[in-house]
Amino acid sequence: MDMEIQTMDEIKIPVIIARIDASNAKTVEKDLLELINSGTKKFICDFSKNEYISSAGLRVFLTILKNMQRSDGRIVLCSLTSYVQEVFDMAGFSQLFEIYKTKSEAIEKMQSL
């Protein structure tokens, strides 16, 4: 399953696929790392279509966060379902990421940077 990548000015907005688990986490990571390696400095990961994320999926976002920090980039998340938000909360990831309820809030934040 291909991940849709939207662009707004210099902001890349990957729309995260419905499920991220051990079977596809490496592919998601590769796609996101390609965006970073192509020079993307601002990411908004849109979770509106994501219904499930496993520990393998969480590791993907930890890797992406570290890569963005190394390249002086910014990453924010938006539109997490209640289940996915709960997974991020339990794993302590809500403390690592800026999370917005809507994509428009996330875009407004990114545009102000």
Q: Each residue of 51-99: pLDDT tens digit? A: 999 999 999 999 999 999 999 999 999 999 999 999 999 999 999 999 9
Domain 4-105 grouped into CATH 3.30.300.30? no
User: How big is the CA angle at 79 (ends 78 and 81), to the nearest 5 degrees?
Assistant: 130
pTM over 0.75: yes
Task: Indicate the domain borders of the chain.
Answer: 4-105
Compute CA distances 6 → 10, 30, 47, 85, 103, whole Å. 11, 17, 13, 22, 12
Number of helices (H) and strands (E), helices first, in the chain? Answer: 4, 7
